[in-house]
Amino acid sequence: MSVLLDQRSSCLEADGGQLSVTGEVGFEVASAMAEAGSAWLAERPAGSEVVFDLSGVGRVSSAALSVLLEWTRQARDAGVEVAAVRLSAPLERLTRVAGLDTLLPLAEPVAA
């Protein structure tokens, strides 16, 4: 696993075809996280699959959802399939309340 970003109690790591986010994703780190993940996505070949794992995000934040939606848009534009999105239980609830659950291939939520 390689660390792409470790900043302000949040971490972004890549392992094979998976991006994993842990910690707190607030607005102060969202831009750097989106950029680091976007650079990683740009290296994925068209037709490949990726998994976004945000099951380790502790604090519910619309910033985390913004980052996830940016990565999803970039993957789609590059012809990369998002095979699954894993969310922490609080983040999964926020996604459903915001009506974004139908836009993402959500995996089973992690227990709270």
Q: What is the pLDDT of residues 20-37, one digit of tens each?
A: 999 999 999 999 999 999
Q: Is the pLDDT at 101 greater than 90, yes or no?
A: no
**Cα 35 to chain centroid, rounded:** 12
112: confidence class by pLDDT, cuts 50, 70, 90: very low
Condensed to tens digits (0 to 9), the pLDDT of residues 70-98 reads 999 999 999 999 999 999 998 999 999 99
Nearest C-alpha neighbor of 1 from the set 73, 56, 46 = 56
Alpha carbon distance 56, 58 (integer Å): 6
pTM score: 0.91
